[in-house]
Structure 1
Amino acid sequence: MTVTAFRPRPEPAEVARVTATAAELLEVLWGRASTAPASASQLRVLLILEHHEGINLRTLADSLASTPPSTSRLCDRLEAAGFVRRVMSPADRREVRLHLSGRGRAFLADLRTRRESTLETVLELMPAAQRTALLEGLEAFCDAAAAQIHDEAEGPGSRTA
């Protein structure tokens, strides 16, 4: 029996602290790889659009906790860079739908490739058993986070017991 078999179950607060530290370290590692020509806030828009293709400006502004005019200016710059396309809604011509362009998708794919390469370098330093445990833990975390995001998007009372 290993020593870890006697380790008490970690409390969520302890795991949250370590996870936050890991996220900060990732920011430092990934900060070495430029996100140019997109700023951090523009990158966030691209990631939101990737997961919510065709959302309107107001929904995007709400997701960013920003105002529609500020979000519109952000999208103006992304459209000028060729990362975003604006399309009139077929249902309401006053509504504009936002779509990630092919160039925007290529930018995100390239950024992910560079970030994954950085991660691989770090992960190679870990023993295989710890990489396996990390993978299992991160998969469970992603599932839980996605469920929470989905539940929040559905609104209060959407979850059934």
Structure 2
Amino acid sequence: MPTPAKAAKIEELAEKLARSRIAILIQTQGLSVKEMNDLRSKVRPMNVEVQVAKNTLLRLAAERNQMEGVDPNIFHGQTTVAFGYDDEVATAKAVTDYLQSSNAVVLKAAILGGRSLTPDRVETLAKISGGKPSAQAQLVGALQGPLSTTYSLLAAPLRNLCYVLQARVEQLQQQQTEHA
């Protein structure tokens, strides 16, 4: 049974995990307080909150949120979590940009949609140009083309029938005016 302080911390982490769109786990061992504050200030404009967390408490918070797709092996070593509340891509980009400027920070994993992501997947997510809106637009474009073609193919026979009927009506009207 966890102590009241640990239970409160688990509840806080569970709330942050539930509210965040992505939680990126990094190892910041060796960072000074000044460097940690620098990390926080660089990601804060993207509505990202950075917090050091105990692995056991973070694992229990993920379990409390019923995140069965999270690999329990990601909870090892010293862990700092970057909770991204708005844009998953912008959060991944901000964290990976900081990683490139710091030799002491290591990307461990991420939690996205109740599933864990490998460091490679997080870096791939960060490389999406234009961010989340651009990725959504590309998805809509990819879906819209085949749907438009399918609609045209299904509508063509009915449209052609209407053209034939309209031509026949005009032909009959023309015959009536000639006989009158």
User: TM over 0.5, yes or no?
Assistant: no
Bigger relative contact order (CA 8 A; separation at least 6): 2
Q: TM-score if structure 2 supplies the norm length?
A: 0.22
Counting strand residues as a fraction of each chain, which structure ranks higher?
2
Query: Which protein is bigger by CA-based radius of gyration?
Result: 2
Q: TM-score if structure 1 supplies the norm length?
A: 0.24
